[in-house]
Chains A and B, each alone.
Chain A
Amino acid sequence: MDFATLIQILDSSIRLATPLLFACLAGLFSERAGVFDIGLEGKMLAAAFLSGSVAAVTGSVWLGVLAGVFASLLMAGIHGLAAITFRGNQLISGVAINFLASGLTVLLGQNWFALGGRTPALTGDARFGPITLPLADTVAPIPFIGPIYAEMISGHSALVYIAIACVPASAWVLYRTRFGLRLRAVGENPAAVDTAGISVTGIRYAAVAICGVLCGLAGAYLALGLAAGFGKEMTAGRGFIALAALIFAKWRPWYALGATLLFGFLEAVGNRFPSIDFGVITLPAQFMQALPYVLTVVILAGFIGKATPPRAGGEPYIKER
């Protein structure tokens, strides 16, 4: 493998990691506040569909993003209502959202566009174009550093840079602000927050809303950045991979960046080398493509050290007598 190939793989790792990173941070906010969310997948899917549809109709990528965030927030609202207000089972609510999104997107897609559940292919301003960072063309000829900057770091769409900027922003919000302190406290011992005179419900809803926005961005990026339009079940389990990355990252923002980059890298390798020939045996394409999912199973089975989830995670808060 030569240097140029490596740069190409890393370049596509970053692109493939972006939706995972958004979704992972989304899950991080929700779960740190004690609301488990296996509905990341459904929220992304709903967002991808509505952003694809709106972008196709209006021709504006940013209106598409807004629509995606709106769709995801709607789903997050359902989850919040079920999990926080009605103290329902958070897993069941999440599963319901996944099913709802899966069915609704295809149904509406067929009804609106009659393309078998897809949205029309996006062109021009209806999808994200690459942003060339300053000096990229100037440094490109420089050996080694040039390609890294010009090809790997520069030339992504806006959402990629927003995703990466979300990492320090999330860390700052969680660890340096009053809101972050309360959010983390709510996920560990909501009674402590309640007795301090702060609304547990309010903080959890805020966290779920942030989760909705970030999932919306993840879905929008899938439809408007990575692909050119919405395709049936296009999230392909990325919501669950993001959950695995969240556990791998031990619910911390910077670790989340590392974990999602790893998953992105595996996916990029799978795409670049459909089959690897070791001489004796040839690994089939399916094997390479399965890599991210295999890692997900390994992580979820608890092979990667001890990861302690937020203590009050998954439990609705009920004032005790």
Chain B
Amino acid sequence: METSRRQESAASASNPLAIELRGISKAFGPVQANKDISIQVAKGSIHGIIGENGAGKSTLMSILYGFYKADAGEIYISGNLTPIPDSQSAIRAGIGMVFQHFKLVPNFTVLENVILGAEGGAILRGAMAKARKSLSDLAREYELEVNPDAVVEDLSVGHQQRVEILKALYRQADILILDEPTGVLTPAEADQLFRILNGLKDQGKTVILITHKLREIMEITDTVSVMRRGQMTATVKTAETSPEELAELMVGRKVLLSVEKTPAAPGGMVLEVENLRVRDETGVERLKGISFNIRAGEILGIAGVAGNGQSELLELLAGIARGEGTVRLNGQEVALNATADGQSRRARGIAHVPEDRQHLGLIMDFTAWENVAFGYHHAPEYQRSALLMDNDAVRTDTVDKMERYDVRPPIPTLPAKNFSGGNQQKLVVAREMDRNPELLLVGQPTRGVDIGAIEFIHKQIVALRDAGKAVLLVSVELDEIMSLSDRIAVMFDGKIMGERDPKITNERELGLLMAGVVK
């Protein structure tokens, strides 16, 4: 078999091994998260682990960091069998971990966060002084400058991540595991992170990078292991593989990585937005005068780092939040004041696939068919009489939608929380898109969605556009924005920094706009 040949070639690398896992298995109840996983990571290399959501990457790394105990298997560090029953032993074995969601105390200073758990004495005073010194040494050595007295919650996400890396280095980690480190970073910050990781590698540290982004794997890793459904499907040298091959190994079938679409044929004006302003409950202005428009048969992509007003924009247009300004749909004004609500928006033909499907899109404990009815529960076809709903009709409709939108398993009575992220999203997409809206608002359509489902959801969005509808797409995934949008607007700090044509612009230019830099 070709994979096994390659596995051998990766293992016989001349460098000694930093980590070797043999036959790791772990089950959570009936779910086999890791099944007989073996992996070898050479010292001083950057090793990628790629796989879809739920493939078991994070579980494997949590076992290596002592967060979970494996049901079976052995861990070797630098060739020695090393049991890791808890995080303290992992730290002692020289393993540091940067979690996807940072494990920092927001109202502590950088220094306090770094020494937490490694204080070096019962009284803080001496430990603090010592830590301050070695922190500044580390910062200089690895280009990880941060102000040790800054309070962590005041730092940018990129800097918070540096604090996490510093935490690991302060504990003398030789092996650094990063779990989806670029999810929250701007492209420029991600580039900076990669420079830091390459610097660590030059100093002889071993880096394990967990990600679902193929581009990052190709860009920075030396070797890459692919996981699918709890199993390790291959370990290959990055130089000898291609994104297409990796995607196929991840999903188990051929996947279209780019979105196929014909050029847009924009029609009449559908959405006109002028000078939108929104304040949050603390009085801070989150939207500072936003204007744009979308024509029929057009996808406008809003790019930007999360938290720059995109959520407020979506919620205002969807009738969930209140604000000031003018919004016109097909020339008719849409209310932004207290009379606005999701119901009246739907009546006007505005559908909304919210960013946070688990809180705004679904009720997780309710069944699929109940979730499919939400928001459209007044629809005439769902009524039995003036008072009673026709639940059978909803269930029948749900079965039909599940089939056409490929929701698996197609069981309408299953609670929403029992579907995978991708299938939950398909449920929401089915509910919102199936009624042929004039305008579709869609936020982070593929967040936490596996590659196969991403392909499907993207096709649906393009199909709606081709049917002559207007689409507002908000996403923090630049690749998604670039491949789906007909026009791209970049948001920063509640303002639109500019509009670009996806055929002409590039990631670098968009990245600068996302960071608020206008040339």
Whether both chains belong to one complex is answered with yes
- Cα A197 to Cα B125 in complex, Å, equals 22
Chain B neighbourhood of A185, CB < 8 A? 105, 108, 116
For B122, give the chain A residue with the smallest CB separation.
Answer: A178
- CB neighbours (8 Å) of A184 from chain B are 105, 108
Q: Is the CB of A179 within 8 A of B106?
A: no
| List of B residues within 8 angstroms of A175 by Cβ | 124
Q: Which of B86-94, B259-267, B407-415 contacts A (4 or more CB under 8 A)?
A: B86-94
B-facing mask of A166-192, CB < 8 A → 1, else 0? 000000000111111110110011011
- Against B, the Cβ 8 Å flags (1 = close, 0 = not) of A191-228 are 11111111000000000000000000000000000000
One of B88, B97, B106, B123 near A177 (C-beta < 8 A): B123
B113 and A192 contact, CB distance less than 8 A = yes
- Docked pose: A196 CA to B112 CA in angstroms: 12
Closest B residue, CB atoms, query A308:
B107
Q: Which of B120-147 contact A (CB under 8 A)?
A: 121-125, 127
Q: How far is the CA of A319 from the CA of B99 in the complex (A)?
A: 13
Nearest CB on A from B299, distance (A): 35
Say yes or no for A232: interface residue by CB 8 A criterion: no
Question: In the bound complex, do residue A321 and residue B121 qualify as a contact, i.e. CB atoms below 8 Å apart?
Answer: no
- With CB as the reference atom, state the residue of chain B lying closest to A311: B106
B77 to chain A, nearest CB (A): 16
Residues from chain B with a CB closer than 8 A to the CB of A321 are 28, 58-59
Chain B neighbourhood of A198, CB < 8 A: 88, 117
CB < 8 Å: which of A176, A181, A189 contacts B104?
A189
Give which listed residue, A176, A180, A189, contacts B105 with CB less than 8 A.
A189
- Contact between A176 and B124, CB atoms less than 8 A apart: yes
Report the separation of the CA atoms of residues A185 and B113 in the bound assembly, to the nearest whole angstrom: 9
CB distance from A62 to the nearest CB of B (A): 29
Q: Is B76 located at the chain interface by the 8 A CB criterion?
A: no
Which chain B residue has the least Cβ–Cβ distance from A198? Answer: B117
Contacts of A182 in B (CB 8 A): 116-117
Q: How far is the CA of A240 from the CA of B66 in the complex (A)?
A: 41
Interface string of B67-111 (1 = CB under 8 A from A): 100000000000000000011111100000101010111111000
Cβ-defined contact, B103 with A188, below 8 A:
no
Our pick among A176, A180, A181, A195 for the contact of B97 (Cβ within 8 Å) is A195
Which residues does chain A contribute within 8 Å of B124, judged by CB atoms? 175-178, 180-181
Contact partner of B86 among A191, A192, A197, CB < 8 A? Answer: A197
Residue of A nearest to B108 (CB): A185
Contact across chains for A188 and B105 when beta carbons are under 8 A apart: yes
Q: Are A195 and B99 in contact (CB under 8 A)?
A: yes
- Closest B residue to A179 by CB, please name it: B122
**Any chain A CB within 8 A of the CB of B118?**
yes
The yes or no answer to B119 lying at the interface (CB within 8 A) is yes
| Interchain CB contact under 8 A, A181 and B116 | yes
Query: CA of A196 to CA of B121 in the docked complex: distance in angstroms?
Result: 15
Kindly provide the distance from the CB of A207 to the nearest chain B CB, expressed in whole angstroms.
16
Q: Which residues of the partner chain B approach A319 to less than 8 Å between Cβ atoms? A: 67
Chain A neighbourhood of B90, CB < 8 A? 197
**In the complex the two chains form, is B112's CB within 8 Å of A181's CB?**
yes
Chain A residues whose C-beta falls within 8 Å of the C-beta of B119 in the assembled complex: 178, 181
| Interface residue from A176, A189, A193, A311 paired with B117 (Cβ < 8 Å) | A193
Smallest Cβ-Cβ distance to B119: which chain A residue: A178
Contacts of B107 in A (CB 8 A): 188, 311
Measured between beta carbons, the chain A residues less than 8 angstroms from B101 are 191
- The interface residues of chain A lying within 8 Å CB-to-CB of B121 are 178
Contact A192 B59 (CB under 8 A): no
The chain A residue sitting closest to B88, CB to CB, is A197
| Minimum CB–CB distance for B167 against chain A, Å | 8
For chain B residues 422-446, which have a beta carbon within 8 Å of chain A?
none
| Nearest A-chain residue to B65, judged by Cβ | A195
CA distance A60 to B108 in the complex (A): 46
Return chain B residues, CB-CB under 8 Å to A197: 66, 86-91, 117
CA distance A188 to B118 in the complex (A): 18
Contact residues in B for A193 (Cβ distance below 8 Å): 116-117
Please measure, in the bound complex, the distance between the C-alpha atom of A188 and the C-alpha atom of B66, giving whole angstroms: 22
Chain A residues, CB < 8 A from B91: 196-197
- Residue of B at shortest CB range from A310? B107
Please give the distance in Å from A144's CB to the nearest CB on chain B. Answer: 40
Hey, what's the 0/1 contact readout for B145-169 against A, CB within 8 Å counting as 1? 0000000000000000000000100
**Set B97, B106, B127: member contacting A188, Cβ < 8 A:** B106
Cα(A185)–Cα(B114), bound, Å: 12
Q: A residues within 8 A CB of B112?
A: 181
* Complex Cα gap A179–B105 (Å): 15
B87 touches A196 (CB 8 A): yes
State how many angstroms separate the Cβ of A317 from the closest Cβ of chain B: 12
Contacts of A196 in B (CB 8 A): 87, 91, 103, 116-118, 167
Nearest chain B residue, comparing its CB with the CB of A176: B124
Residues of A within 8 A of B66 (CB): 197
Which of B28, B58, B107, B112 has the most A CB atoms < 10 Å from its CB? B107
Q: Do A189 and B28 touch (CB < 8 A)?
A: no
In the assembled complex, the CB of B133 is this many whole angstroms from the nearest CB of chain A, namely 18
Most buried by B among A177, A191, A195: A195
Q: Which of A191, A197, A321 has the most CB of B within 10 A?
A: A197
Q: Complex Cα distance A197/B167, Å? A: 13
Inter-subunit contact B122/A195 (CB<8 Å): no
Can you report 28 residue pairs joining A to B where beta carbons are below 8 Å apart? A175-B124, A178-B121, A178-B123, A178-B127, A180-B124, A181-B112, A181-B119, A184-B105, A188-B105, A188-B106, A189-B103, A192-B104, A192-B113, A192-B116, A193-B117, A194-B87, A195-B97, A195-B103, A196-B91, A196-B103, A196-B118, A197-B87, A197-B88, A197-B90, A197-B117, A198-B88, A311-B106, A321-B28
Given contacts A189-B103, A192-B113, 17 further A-B contacts (CB under 8 A): A175-B124, A177-B123, A179-B122, A180-B124, A181-B119, A188-B108, A189-B105, A192-B105, A194-B103, A195-B67, A196-B91, A197-B90, A197-B117, A198-B88, A198-B117, A319-B67, A321-B58
A interface residues, Cβ below 8 angstroms from B: 175-182, 184-185, 188-189, 191-198, 311, 319, 321
